[in-house]
A and B are shown apart, each in its own frame.
Chain A
Amino acid sequence: MATIRSTGTVVIDVDACKGCDLCVAACPVDVLVMTTDEVNVRGYPYPQLLPGCVGCKACSQICPDFVFQVYRFETPVEHEVSDPPPESSLESSEGVQ
């Protein structure tokens, strides 16, 4: 078992998204990933959140469609990750805390 800490989180207005991917590219801790098999009411893929968010607002500041609300936790939230991802990705998210 591995744990990943999130010091922040986002709320995603799924139907506002136009699937432009800018948030995914902007996220410094790579915790946003676009859906591949689901689309929103407009027919666009949309971002989903993975563990490790640091609440840095990169996504909300770059998003052309105001899809994100960004929060910072008072105390970090732990996420249990059942099968640990390959060594490298675990490293990058740990290091950023």
Chain B
Amino acid sequence: MTTRSLPIIESTSAPTQAAKLVDDFTPGLINQGAHHLCPGCGEPIAMRLIMEAVEELELAQKTIAIFGIGCYTAYSNNLDVEVLQALHGRAPSLATGVKRSLPDSLVLTVQGDGDMVNEGLQEVLHTMARGESVTCFLLNNGVFGETGGHMTAATVLGQRTKNSLEGRTAQEHGYPIVISDLIARLDGAAYVARGAVNTHTNVARTKKMVKEALAVQTAGLGGSFVEILTMCPTGWFVDTLDAPDYLNDNIEPIHRFGVVLDRSDDSRHHGAGR
């Protein structure tokens, strides 16, 4: 569609006509937007929808966000919720300690697939198996982003990374772990879903999942877990504009979009802790 002939509308200041602001640069719980993440990175998109969900559920003054270590770590600097920085892989254990000590708080963890599915698999499995009423968010971009794009346990077969340059093979690198399906098999888990931020419709659907997970926590029904597929053009060797389709074509077919487990209507189901 040729648009060169259409006029460019000046849009560097608020409109003079009567208008209602429907979305600000940053949501209430994100202090400032500047961050060092790569162009086209999906992580700030995920952080935005998580913080919007916390704000909309009016949980900001009960929230303790526990961060793993990855590209997103420095992003905690942007958030206007209380942050506890954990070691690589350990966030769900810290979450257990926090929630057991403050049963009325809203405890959420933010980890990447390297942090959770590699370094901290034992932590998240046991935390969810015990049914600690905490919410674990996984930003799954299929690579260790912060080190420059290396293979993780979630990297799909055929995916090229800095240490699987010819593409991951089962024979050389072994099969990936489809973590949400694993978590959903644990009796302590009460809600498990997998979203994505590669399209704005997926962003909206994922935000709904986040809100349901946080509601499961506040109802004390046990472990809640939302995996969010995020784009990593740098780590995937693709252009920023091609990353959303790369996700659809290569990642989503393995890590499938959708609610994997929902026990939220079973009010008898309670996890560990008070």
Residues of A in contact with B (beta carbons under 8 Å apart):
4, 6, 8-14, 16, 18-22, 24-26, 30, 33, 44, 48-51, 53, 55, 57-75, 77, 79, 81, 83-86, 88-89, 92
- Distance (whole angstroms) from the CB of A86 to the closest CB of chain B: 6
| Interface bits B3-22 vs A (CB < 8 Å: 1, else 0) | 10111110111110111111
Report how far A22 CA is from B115 CA in the complex, Å: 27
Contact pick for B3, options A33, A59, A67, CB 8 Å = A33
Instruction: Identify the closest chain B residue to A30 (Cβ).
Output: B1
Asked if B57 is at the interface (CB within 8 A of a chain A CB), the reply is no
Chain A residues with CB under 8 Å of B22's CB are 8, 55, 57, 70-72
- A71 in contact with B15 (CB, 8 Å): yes
Chain A residues with CB under 8 Å of B15's CB are 9, 11, 71, 73
With A57-B23, A66-B25 in contact, is A73–B18 under 8 Å at CB?
A: yes
Chain B residues with CB under 8 Å of A12's CB are 11-12
- B44 in contact with A66 (CB, 8 Å): yes
Q: SS class of chain B's interface: helix, strand, loop or mixed?
A: loop
Report how far A33 CA is from B8 CA in the complex, Å: 9
- A51 in contact with B9 (CB, 8 Å): yes
Instruction: Identify the closest chain B residue to A26 (Cβ).
Output: B200
Report how far A2 CA is from B49 CA in the complex, Å: 39
Report how far A59 CA is from B15 CA in the complex, Å: 17
Report how far A71 CA is from B38 CA in the complex, Å: 27
Report how far A44 CA is from B49 CA in the complex, Å: 25
- B3 in contact with A30 (CB, 8 Å): yes
Asked if B259 is at the interface (CB within 8 A of a chain A CB), the reply is no
Report how far A65 CA is from B11 CA in the complex, Å: 17
Instruction: Identify the closest chain A residue to B204 (Cβ).
Output: A61
- Distance (whole angstroms) from the CB of A1 to the closest CB of chain B: 13
- B40 in contact with A50 (CB, 8 Å): no
- Distance (whole angstroms) from the CB of A12 to the closest CB of chain B: 5
Report how far A50 CA is from B2 CA in the complex, Å: 12
- A25 in contact with B241 (CB, 8 Å): yes
Closest 9 CB pairs of A and B: A66-B33, A18-B39, A20-B40, A20-B240, A71-B19, A58-B200, A20-B39, A70-B23, A60-B23
- B3 in contact with A68 (CB, 8 Å): no
Chain B residues with CB under 8 Å of A9's CB are 9, 11, 15, 19
Chain B CB within 10 Å, residue with most, of A18, A58, A64, A65:
A64
Contact pick for B9, options A20, A50, A86, CB 8 Å = A50
Instruction: Identify the closest chain B residue to A91 (Cβ).
Output: B1
- A65 in contact with B44 (CB, 8 Å): yes
Pick 24 A–B contacts, CB within 8 A, sort by A.
A4-B6, A11-B14, A12-B12, A18-B38, A19-B39, A19-B240, A20-B40, A20-B233, A21-B240, A22-B244, A26-B199, A30-B3, A33-B3, A51-B7, A62-B45, A66-B30, A68-B23, A69-B14, A69-B24, A69-B25, A74-B18, A85-B5, A88-B1, A89-B2
